[in-house]
Amino acid sequence: MPIIPDAVPADVEWENLVDALWADEAVDPESRVALMRELAGSAPHPALGAFELGGAYDSSGHEAEAAEQYAAAADAGLATVDPLRAARMAVQYASTLRNLGRLDEAIAMLRDAPEHESTGTAPRVFLALALHSAGRHDEALRVAIEAIEPTLPRYNRSVRAYAAALTDL
């Protein structure tokens, strides 16, 4: 990890350390969790530490622990403290809930996910996955098509009509 000069504010230093840990591809998933646990303990706000630790658990396949940390981040006010991370957490937490079989919660969270440029259409894509896991295949396909339709250079009207014909949303 990079050495940060003492003159750098604590929150900037912490952010740099978190970014460096995520960027270091040589760190194995279990070590990343351990290192992130240390960083989470020194976070400038508890919501930030819980979110990043949740992400480390999530990326290492520990969904139950990730869900606990994401819930803690939400309870600690992540949406107020860091809207960018809150937008990312909606996707990550819902994906974790989906992996835990908590499909209704995942679907509700993704339907309510905040729009943010950092996540783009990811909430809709993950919603399609959750709907598919719930056996709602036509609805899942419609959501996926509607997520990508704005990016098409042509045929938008036709694609919207075909998507709408899949369900009675």
Task: List the CATH number of the domain containing 76.
Answer: 1.25.40.10
Q: Which amino acid is at 75?
A: D
Does residue 2 have a pLDDT over 90?
no
pLDDT of residue 19: 97
Q: 23 is written with which tokens?
A: 């960027």
Query: Would you say 138 and 121 are in contact if contact means Cβ atoms under 8 Å apart?
Result: no
Q: Is 141 among the domain residues?
A: no
- Compute the chain's Rg from CA coordinates: 18
Tally of domains within the chain = 1
Q: Is 155 among the domain residues?
A: no
Q: Is 59 among the domain residues?
A: yes
Q: Write the pLDDT tens digit of every residue in 56-84.
A: 999 999 999 999 999 999 999 999 999 99
User: Is the CA virtual torsion 78, 81, 85, 90 positive or negative?
Assistant: positive
Maximal C-alpha separation, the chain? 60
Q: Which domain holds residue 95?
A: 10-135
Q: Is 81 among the domain residues?
A: yes
Q: Is 149 among the domain residues?
A: no
pLDDT of residue 115: 87
Q: Is 165 among the domain residues?
A: no
Does residue 137 have a pLDDT over 70?
yes
Q: Is 154 among the domain residues?
A: no
pLDDT of residue 8: 41
